[in-house]
Amino acid sequence: MMPCRRLGAALRGLAAWGLLAALAVVPRQLAAQDTVRVLSYNIRHGAGMDDSVDLRRAAHVIRAQRPDVVLLQEIDVGTERTGGVDQARALAELTGLAYHAFGRFMDYRGGQYGMAVLSAAPILDSTTYVLPAGEEPRSVLAARIRVTPTAPAMMFVGIHLYRTEEERLAQAGRLVEIFAHDTAPVLLVGDFNSQPGGSVLELLSRHWCVPAKPADAHFTFPADQPAREIDFVLYRPADRFRLLEYRVVDERLASDHRPVLAVLVVAGD
């Protein structure tokens, strides 16, 4: 993964964002129809910057990006604070993405708290792996999905690392171990609570491609006046993907994070 990592670092400071497509060409023949639109979104259990819980608002943001797969962080299922709603199921219905899976971090206020994946295509299987705990329990939600009939089955891995650098580094190390022998394309998506240049992204960039964002619009948190880049879509192996688009969505109200959209062409088996 080193060449991909060096490419990302070199591109980060470039104002000419259009150079990314030219530089990121990979040697495989990649069919145009095998394109996947992946969205990462920490929705803060539907609570926006105004502290109002409104899943319809979050769903509108998601629909506008026309994603094939969405990895969501901070999801409530049956908790008292969000009225007992199964937010994973509700967001699948509100967005029109027919398939969903939920990954539990912990029990919380009469229900469960964790992450979810939404998909337009069937989820072939999903697994929740326990990560090293920090201040709160953490887990990873891995869903295997074939986005189009001609695309390979890919592993979409939703994460929300937390809380200290030491805790996140231990969690990242476990992620590397879990997927070390997975031969399918693996996308690592979510809220890393870690910034470029730190130990967590340094470790993960040895195993996944870390795309560069435009120099003038790469921060994701807080949504109203973003000052940190902590949400990412990473992918591997480099020669199975060509990056078409990678951007932070300019959404300032629906959550305290801005979503990240990646559009990639993927090579078949």
pLDDT digits (tens, 9 = 90+) for 109-124: 999 999 999 999 999 9
The answer for residues whose C-beta is within 8 angstroms of residue 119's C-beta and 6 or more apart is 68, 69, 70, 97, 98, 99, 100, 143, 145, 147, 156
Rounded to an integer, the average pLDDT of 145-171 is 97
Report domain extents, the chain: 2-13+31-266
Which superfamily is assigned to 2-13+31-266 in CATH? Endonuclease/exonuclease/phosphatase (3.60.10.10)
pLDDT digits (tens, 9 = 90+) for 48-97: 999 999 999 999 999 999 999 999 999 999 999 999 999 999 999 999 99
Q: In whole angstroms, what is the distance from residue 38 CA to residue 155 CA?
A: 12
Q: In whole angstroms, what is the distance from residue 259 CA to residue 220 CA?
A: 7
Q: Residue 167: phi, psi to the nearest 5?
A: -65, -45
Q: How far is CA 92 from CA 58, 139, 195, 200, 260, in A?
A: 11, 21, 30, 31, 18
With beta carbons less than 8 A apart as the criterion, state whether 88 and 75 touch.
yes
Which tokens in the block code for residue 216? 């003038």
Q: Which of 31-45, 149-163, 206-220 is most confident? A: 149-163
User: Minimal CA–CA distance to 161: which of 186, 183, 140, 187?
Assistant: 140
Per-residue pLDDT at 134: 86
User: Minimal CA–CA distance to 71: which of 235, 202, 198?
Assistant: 235
Q: Return the percentage of the chain with pLDDT > 90, whole number.
A: 84
